[in-house]
Amino acid sequence: MATIIGGLAASHVPAIGGAMAKGLQQDPYWAPFFDGFNAPCRWLEAAKPDAAVVIYNDHGLNFFLDKMPTFAVGAAPEYRNDDEGWGIPVSAPFPGDAKLSWHIIETLVGDEFDPVTCQEMLVDHAFSLPMQLFFRDRAHSIPTVPVVVNTVQHPLPSLRRCFKLGQAIGRAIESYPEDMKVVVIGTGGLSHQLEGERAGFINTAFDRRCMDAMTGDIDGILGIDPHELVELAGSQGVEVMNWVAMRGALLGDVHELHRNYHLPISNTASGIMLLENRPKLARAA
């Protein structure tokens, strides 16, 4: 059976791609962000996962408002990136694990989730940047399953719904009859807002609460409704929904191995986390 060995989370602002293209990883502005990936990268090199399920939101590369799924799952052998209109380089394609995708889709639908299934799907910077940041040289060789959550158009799914989606993804992976190790990645956030007179809004206290909740009081944040989440995290800070879905997929005992919190990168407070998912210890009879 497949096992989920851990969960990872990282911000995904396009400016990271610009910084990478210009080789600014050790620039004083960017180093505190990029250095935050050293520990998770070392862990991934040692743990050697066989596949990555990446939960993110599309920013108008693959999906437009004509057909906007609340949840979508990729089911393709390969995922391409493309021109997103804001000048960051187009990345090389990413391999997909279509067999694992279809197993997840079948399990989700059986579990009363009804995602859109995509045999062709462009993946944007919210997928490509975290893959490159976490996997470096292996970013384009590890098989992936992209999962897209709507953070663009209200009504948004609630945090509790995203958590339950994650739990269903976790059950799907753990019932997959291949002997393989899987990591689940949630991308986006943390607090930021691009538009309106409140542009530039950042809420460090809420960000820390969300990071603490990954191994602590997760239930304490699941009751926050989407409107309240906009108020607390900013219009685009709602992307923490993807973190919550990732956390839902970790069904074992979850331990924080690493965190990095730094701001600002572009207009965003950046959070990076590595969570280990250990098998639940059998309770004493």
Partner 1 sequence: MSQALAREPAPRAKREIFGTPIFGPESAQKGYALNKMCFSFNSAAARAEFIRDEAAYCARYGLTAAQTEAILKRDLLKLLDQGGNAYYLAKFAGILGLNMQDIGALQTGMSVEQFKAKLLAARDS
Which of these, 146, 154, 175, lies nearest to 246 by C-alpha position?
146
- Measured from the CB atom, the residue of 150 and 277 that comes closer to partner 1 is 150
Helix axes 204-213, 226-233, angle to 10 degrees: 120
**Cβ-contact 122, 61 below 8 angstroms:** yes
- Measured from the CB atom, the residue of 118 and 269 that comes closer to partner 1 is 269
- Measured from the CB atom, the residue of 30 and 43 that comes closer to partner 1 is 30
Burial of 158 (0-12, 13-18, 19+ CB in 10 A): middle
Which of 59, 192, 227, 258 is flagged as catalytic?
Answer: 192
- What residue ranges bind partner 1 (CB under 8 A)? 13, 15, 59-61, 64-66, 82-87, 152-155, 193-205, 227, 230-231, 234-236, 263-264, 266-267, 269
Min. distance of Cβ 227 from partner 1 in angstroms? 5
Min. distance of Cβ 155 from partner 1 in angstroms? 7
Which of 125, 227, 258, 262 is flagged as catalytic?
Answer: 125
Going across the sheet that includes 71-74, the strands are 116-118, 71-74, 144-149, 51-56, 181-187, 3-10, 268-278, 253-265
Alpha helices in the chain (DSSP H): 14-21, 31-34, 38-47, 98-110, 125-135, 159-174, 204-213, 219-222, 226-233, 240-248
Is residue 192 part of the annotated active site? The answer reads yes
- Measured from the CB atom, the residue of 86 and 257 that comes closer to partner 1 is 86
Report the helix count and the strand count for the chain, using DSSP H and E.
Answer: 10, 10
Neighbours of 163 (CB within 10 A): 22
- Measured from the CB atom, the residue of 77 and 223 that comes closer to partner 1 is 223
Is residue 125 part of the annotated active site? The answer reads yes
Hey, which residues are catalytic here? 125, 192
